[in-house]
Structure 1
Amino acid sequence: MFDYLIIGSGFAGSVIAERIANKLNKKILIIEKRNHIGGNCYDFKDESGIIVHKYGPHLFHTDYKDVWDYLSNFTEWEIYHHKVLAFIDGKKVPIPFNFNTLHKIFPSELAKRLENKLLENYQYNSKVPILELKKSSDKDLKFLADYIYEKIFANYTAKQWGMKPEEIDSEVTARVPVFIGKDDRYFNDKYQGVPKYGYTKLFEKMLNNKNIKIMLNTDFREVIKVDLDSKKIYFFNQEFKGKLIFTGMIDEFFDYKFGRLPYRSLDLQFNVIEKEYFQEAAVVNYPNNYDFTRITEFKHIHLTNTEKTIILKEYPKAYNPETDIPYYPIFTKENQESYSKYKDLANNFGNVIFLGRLAEYRYYDMDDVVKKALEVFEEKVR
């Protein structure tokens, strides 16, 4: 019945399903473990009309015009520039740390001196990873680096990842830079926004094709068997001759042959607040002082005329395979070596494509995974 089986309906699975259905006119079955499509981007309207991101805030931003144009086929956009505050020493200040943050935290004379030192050593409107700034030999910049590291970076990283920043791959630590300028936006990409009617509506339109069937509430292992010896795939006990596109955890696909790959998870606590607004920005980070890392208020993202609001507190935690969602692969040298064993094994399966954050054991922004899915379609499917 089906030419392609796709495991997972997040951006990776949905984009490649849409391309196969519309460009190749082939039949696809998407197998989804949850009771909804969209993966971690799934959102819904609560009874008061507020669009809530069930798995934490997702703000779309990209410099890829082709990705923006592609997704624009399935949604209108609300232009949205994300701004984040951090609660530091009793004040809420803009992050990434920039010149505005400098002047909110330090006395004006010191702030100006630090600003001039940054401009002497780095290009205006550039981003400097905090661990790079810490290597500076200038005593003022070293003071600033140590302050930012201690007040913003170290404790937040310890909560988020359960380890010190130095133990994490630079791909992660570079995501929290010092911005040499006065731009308070969290992202500086050319295209920024959120789907006007939410991400779920985007996915529904993307997957609305007679060639695409969707099986929800189904663990792929209930209907698919992987024979590691013969490299064959069985679907409902029949050998599947088509192509399988897998976007789940690569270690799970291979039945944890080399052990489980580590992940971090989140305990998400939502609260309805009986007031118009709870905080000044969509997201306020709490690097110190509290067990949670940040509070999101969704009305700042999707403007809604209502007298109540909904907030989300995020409590990072170790991943429990029995109860938790694997949100973040943990980037260490040891974990990458474990993943490479699975990747070598995956290369022997000619009719299986491993695509996405969990299948490739790496952190993807939304635009990056859309870009990768479009590329994989052109290079390995079409």
Structure 2
Amino acid sequence: MKYFDYAATTPMDLEAAQIYVKTATEYYGNTGSLHDAGSIAKDILENCRRELAKMLGVDSSGIYFTSGGSESNYLGIQALLSSQKAKNKHHIISSLAEHTSIRSTLEILEERGYEVTLLPFNEEGQIDIAMLKEATKENTALIAIQHGNSEIGTLQPIAEIGEWCREKDILFHSDSVHTFGKIDLHSFANKVDSFSMSAHKFYGPKGIGVGYVNPKLAWMPHYPGTTHENGFRPGTLNVPAIAAMTIAAQQMTARQEEIYAHTAHLRQLFITALAEIKDRVTIYSAKGEQQLPHTLAMRIHGVEGQWAMLECNRRGYAISTGSACSTGLKAPAKTMTAMNVPDKPAKEMIRISFGRDTSEQDAAELAGILVQIAKESML
């Protein structure tokens, strides 16, 4: 199977896997134990926290280890809303295209009395800053806008949103699961109050991630009586997975520019290879550096996305029709709805995502298969 679904998950880095096994079998102490085995595990944990903080350009005291992006999104938002800065404010602004974990969290908050405003995307898959400013109210407590869209790969204007939040004294959470390891997050991390990361998106193990909350904010634990991670979440820490995630993160940041250039080349090669059917293809993207090159969302006019995906799968190529967290739903991808794409063309959307080991040959062959599918659909 030729894999083109790196936006859904990535294979685990070999060195990260080796570190996982070594830590699990040799340094297996509980970080909460006071004996030497526990202390060694604790030292590994804190070293990983410092290393990740250095890669992100943030204070290590704001780094918390979680089970992944979804939990980090949920707990990050809960932490921000528990702070004094959000007291007596009950309005939240987000987007129609947020990850399911954000949308579900907002639905829970609505049941608790919060008012939620969901903004659409423009035709390039981005938030309109003027619309966001217009939606802001005196009692807006939080703005939650993703950094990179997982379905079409567009980047949001985080700097401008961050400046607006500072000006209006509004808290800002951003889901950065789709961007860590792809682009430098130093400037991003200084614009937000909390963000999320998930290791399996950058060649680390599944079931481990990071939630960051600005340590200057005083927040209340969501789970009463929690002692782990300074009250951020309960449960014994998965030190082997944390160590493996840190190694995977180091590998990705070290090769970030190289991999960015590689996926940008593959993207252009792939689009060029579709020239024969270009009149029947729509590509959803933003301009220039506002587009992550490793994610390519497109549709072949008249070909349902699920059919194209199954045909590619039958021929040995793995692609997707959007976020893996929404697979099985009959509704179109959330991003298509946010961009006001009508139902029928929205359901024709497919996502091709490239990885660091994707070859030119495989990319060209997949494009050729899509050309064949387009032609067959006309018979």
Shorter chain as normaliser: what TM range?
Answer: under 0.3
Normalised to the residue count of structure 1, the TM-score between the two structures is 0.27
Normalised to the residue count of structure 2, the TM-score between the two structures is 0.28
Higher strand proportion: 1
Q: Which structure has the bigger radius of gyration?
A: 1
